[in-house]
Amino acid sequence: MTEPKLFKLPDVGEGLTEAEIVKWHVQPGDTVEDGQTIVEIETAKAIVELPCPFDGVVTELLATEGETVDVGVPIIAVDAGGDGAVATPVSEPPAQTAALREEGVPTANEPGMVTPEEPPKRQPVLVGYGVKEGATKRRARKASSNGVASAAVAPVRPPAPRPQPVDNGLPLAKPPVRKMAKELGIDLATVTGSGPQGSITREDILAAQGAPQAPVAAGPREERVPVKGVRKATAAAMSGSAFTAPHVTEFLQVDVTRTMETVKRLRELPEFADVKVSPLLLVARALLTAVRRHPMVNSTWVDGPNGAEIVVKRYVNLGIAAATDRGLIVPKVKDAQDLDLPGLARALKELTEKARAGKASPGDLSDGTISITNVGVFGVDTGTPILTPGEAAILAFGQIRDMPWVHEGELAIRKVTTLALSFDHRIVDGELGSRVLRDVGDMLEDPIRMLAWS
């Protein structure tokens, strides 16, 4: 039994590297003819019907509908029979061409090559598949007894000093070489080809650019990441929040030297022996205290049948944004207002560990009332966070840095961070937002205030 012919996904448009299989028009066991439409594919530009370049019987579909396939990857196998009478995409002298292809040399009759001696009578529909000259179906040439096609074989000409343009003004070059020249901004008409029949090669393009003739790095130039799961849900939620709630963000630089000293002392207490105490713990406690002092910041806007309402929550489900391999998620510490400081520390630790391990339940990720995002762990000073849908405020906590600061009337090096509070301006006006942000800053400058205001 002869080896099946493999049809590889062609480049159906300059610059495309992949396509999605939309619909197969054939199945294993079906008889196909040269030029028959066998599959529909979708690229970034359009849906394209691909013709089969072989006569034969389909033996296997190598890609499924909905699958994204890279250009050059086989998508179908066809048994073309054992007599070698197989139609090829473009008529070419089989003996010399096969020999050249085995050596990796492009030929003038290869798919996508433009030959100056025989300009195309019509513009090809797809790269690598020319339009037929007439209505009759093109058949393969029969091989003679010595294995050489009976048709006259044109000799391969020696390289010309420079490519000669054809009717459409294109020198002899393969599509990947044209693509490379376009990306580098090089006019092919100004390049002297060193390949067979004066064709332009990659090395010629590099030489024209003045770059060293080194191999071009293989592999895709781009990576496409499917938007699904957590990323899809987060994108939809953030888009809805950004274009529904009018956002306002205020910023405040704070001297947190005393907070850092307090963190160090808390780590020495036995109540915190089994948990990691970080500045985020005191930021969370400060925000909970500010919510108690200003309940309106812990609310949500509801459009009901009888008009809009502001629902003020008397409980705090505190969201802590966590970066995971699946994207950004915001688990909630439920009823955080009822926890003491060691209890809050344990809750933060357990919830973030579950989230990063991918074990957070839907209940852990829902029903938040206000959130914190700690951008400081990424070495970022601050940002303008987008509200979690249904919440009125979110606090961004930036990195803590040594900075020159006026302390007690003198210039000193202090631990400084930047806080940013984004809020829904339908609920929280500038005065309330400023008071909340200032209260959090005051408590981080002097943690004793947390005790006084609790």
- Here the tokens at position 155 are 């000799």
Q: Are strands 370-374 and 393-397 parallel, antiparallel or unpaired?
A: parallel
60 closest CA partner among 72, 77, 73, 74: 77
List 25, 247, 294, 425, catalytic entry: 425
CA separation for the pair 238, 241 (Å, rounded)? 5
Instruction: Read off the amino acid at residue 172.
Output: L
Residue 425 annotated in active site? yes
421 closest CA partner among 258, 255, 254, 279: 254
Torsion angle defined by CA atoms of residues 195, 198, 201 and 205, in that order, rounded to the nearest 10 degrees: 140
CA separation for the pair 365, 355 (Å, rounded)? 9
Q: Are strands 401-407 and 68-70 parallel, antiparallel or unpaired?
A: unpaired
Q: DSSP labels for 65-132?
A: TT-EEETT-EEEEEE--SS-----SS---HHHHHHHHHTT---TTSTT---SSS--SS--SBTTBPPP
- Torsions phi, psi of 351, nearest 5? -70, -40
Q: Residue 370 pairs with which residues in a beta bridge?
A: 318
CA separation for the pair 371, 343 (Å, rounded)? 18
List the catalytic residues. 425
